[in-house]
Structure 1
Amino acid sequence: MKIYKLLFLLLIFIQLSCNSQQKKINGISFVASRDTISIKHISPIIKAQGNYVALMPFGFIKKLSSPTVIHNNDRQWFGETKNGLHQYAKNFQTADVKIMVKPQIWVWKGEFTGLIEMNSDENWTILEDTYSDFILTYAKAAQNLKADILCIGTELEQFVLQRPTYWKELIVKIREVYKGKLTYAANWDEFKRVPFWADLDYIGIDAYFPLSDKKTPSVKDFELGWQPHKKVITQIQKQFNKPILFTEFGYRSVDFTGKEPWDANRVEGQVNMQGQVNGLQAIHNQFWKEDWFAGGFIWKWFHTHAKVGGEKDNRFTPQNKPAEVVLRKLYKQD
């Protein structure tokens, strides 16, 4: 009788383990556009085995010291607005793809959002008020859509570090209107200092860690490069007992792609498909089988699938590259 009981418990454990693997977030960051979308834009993501998309409405500020967040107006692209979010999300949900709503800030000329900083208390108050309006607009939209995850900010280090009380209070306000899971997308060198991880459901990291100085790092090179970073990630995970979510990850198909993976400004550079492939294989090897790792969202994917990426493209998208084939294989395993 004891043997049968042990076998039964073993079967339950195996089933739970399988279910755990199936629940990994195999996510894709879906770029907002001028257009509405339909199943023809979603089909390539389903083929790539994506089970989540990050949808990214935008707010704008004029410069790093400007306090006013402008959002949801007629001058924005459709996909960057509340109506666009709704249209995109409903189409993805119809196709059984889950949603993370990830509102983001764009600073004019593309300056780094982590450096947004005000020069007076008055301007900090304006920034806080307009950012609250921005994020609560999309928290309510996320609730109406029954989106699975809401990301409350992306790479806003100085704003977060200098105004921690505001962020704590903002999270309370968000939870009053949105009942799903919350995360914040911390930059790879910021996540250790975020003061409110205990108040969220996932520790979110934009995982552009420097991993190798080689022109074409091998999978082993990438994995060796991950070791010191993975050690810190696991320390933070244990400290807060929250799952890790890579709110963004990815590599450009360019030489030296592991050296400064965050660098999107350097347009020049020799196309290197193998470096991108090896980086994706290594990050999957290192993280996707860890129990404490929730999954991640590859950066980035455009709706006009047939017209982007390809053999001459050295940017982040895996579309129409060997990286897309590898991504499909890796996501299918989970």
Structure 2
Amino acid sequence: MRSIALLCIFSLLSACSMAPVKQNKINGVSFVAARDIVDSTHVEPVVKVNANYAAIMPFGFIKNLEHSEIIHNTDRQWFGETRAGAEQYISELRKADIKVMIKPQIWVWGGEFTGEIMMTTEEDWKALEDAYSSFILEYADMAEKVNAEIFCIGTELELFVKFRPEYWSQLIEKIKTVYKGKLTYAANWNEFAKTPFWDQLDYIGIDAYFPLSDKKTPSYEDCLEGWKFHKPIIEKLSKQLDRPILFTEYGYRSVDYSGRQPWVSDHTMRDVNLQAQVNTTKALFDTFWHEDWFAGGFVWKWFIMHDEVGGHDNPMFTPQNKPVEEVLREYYKN
């Protein structure tokens, strides 16, 4: 009897060892840079929404789309936009066991779209490359020093990538000499299929503002239907390149027509529609979060002063203090 019992135990252990290990999803928030330092009261709402990751976003600034100089890590910036601020944020998040993706971003004065940054001469391209290398390697060095789990090498820089692919390939190799963790790039939703260097990175990063529905209040079913066009393209690329998909940004505004052009962030759309935000968000979770080729994502966006932002009259992206915050909490919990 003893030998039979031992055999049964061995069989069970063998079966368990052969079973696939379910990977935890990256349930992230985009932790917005602010003027001030953070403390546990700013991190507690992140914990309460069941997030396990935060994207930390230091900034560099460019005067216009044709300008090559990048101003970064200066005392003229908000604290959270600098290296010292990013390090302080990460230190506080670590106390709550929140992992981090460092995601340095460029802001063009006037809010012009970074994907259209475009130089007109070889001299200017070289100057931009030198400036960007200085900017991104500064934060790659920081990422290594703070043991960041993920480092994002750029955000929505479509024309820069398109016209200078050799530079980006070389930049990635330089980053790897400085930082030893996982790498991604945040490609815009209409850019990711053309990005040439995914095979050099660990995740295919997408800012997932895909259009889903033209309806004023798209239903959950409308949004699921909208994903049927985009999802196969995303999955196919993931499997072709053997790289998981990471939504480096995702989210919807709490406005009418929130699924029509989810990338629109200006203030011309003011008609609050909390149900539209709930429906679009639920459909995204149910479309992707159960897929083994999908790593997770970072909701856009999460402000440090939780009690002072969002709310039922707010038409912007943040889920804070809106019905969709409970949606986020429940999906991140499960």
Q: TM-score interval w.r.t. the shorter chain?
A: over 0.9
**Structure 1: 5+ residue stretches without partners:** none
Q: Does 1:195 align with 2:200?
A: no
Q: Does 1:118 align with 2:123?
A: no
What is aligned with 1:310? 311
Q: Which amino acid in the other structure matches residue 288 of structure 2?
A: F
What is aligned with 1:238? 239
What is aligned with 1:79? 80
Matches within 5 A, 1:27-46: 27-46=28-47
Comparing 174-183 and 217-226, the one that deviates more = 217-226
Q: Which amino acid in the other structure matches residue 57 of structure 1?
A: P
In 2, Cα distance between the equivalents of 1:87 and 1:3?
52
In 2, Cα distance between the equivalents of 1:3 and 1:192?
50
- Aligned residue for 1:16, secondary structure, equals coil
In 1, Cα distance between the equivalents of 2:36 and 2:117?
30
What is aligned with 2:148? 147
In 1, Cα distance between the equivalents of 2:266 and 2:18?
47
Residue by residue over 1:276-319, the C-alpha shift from the partner in whole angstroms, topping out at 9 and shown as x without a partner, is 11111111101111001000000000011000000100100000
In 2, Cα distance between the equivalents of 1:199 and 1:261?
29
The alignment of Structure 1 onto Structure 2 pairs a total of residues equal to 329
Residue 161 of structure 1 deviates from its aligned partner by 0.6
Q: Which amino acid in the other structure matches residue 148 of structure 1?
A: E
Q: Which amino acid in the other structure matches residue 209 of structure 1?
A: F
Q: Which amino acid in the other structure matches residue 218 of structure 2?
A: P
Matches within 5 A, 1:96-107: 96-107=97-108
In 2, Cα distance between the equivalents of 1:291 and 1:53?
21
What is aligned with 2:327? 326
In 2, Cα distance between the equivalents of 1:4 and 1:94?
40
Runs of 4+ in 1 over 2 A off after TM superposition: 1-15, 266-269
Matches within 5 A, 1:213-252: 213-252=214-253
Q: Which amino acid in the other structure matches residue 176 of structure 2?
A: R
- Aligned residue for 1:43, secondary structure, equals helix
Q: Does 1:135 align with 2:136?
A: yes
Residue by residue over 1:98-132, the C-alpha shift from the partner in whole angstroms, topping out at 9 and shown as x without a partner, is 01000000000000000000010000000000000
What is aligned with 2:160? 159
- Aligned residue for 1:294, secondary structure, equals strand
Percentage identity across aligned positions?
Answer: 57
Q: Does 1:8 align with 2:13?
A: yes
- Aligned residue for 2:21, secondary structure, equals helix
The TM-score with structure 2 as length reference comes to 0.96
Q: Which amino acid in the other structure matches residue 302 of structure 1?
A: F
- In angstroms, what is the RMSD of aligned CA positions? 1.3
Residue 218 of structure 1 deviates from its aligned partner by 1.3
Q: Does 1:297 align with 2:298?
A: yes
The TM-score with structure 1 as length reference comes to 0.96
Which entry has the higher C-alpha Rg, 1 or 2? 2
- Aligned residue for 2:210, secondary structure, equals coil
Residue 13 of structure 1 deviates from its aligned partner by 5.2
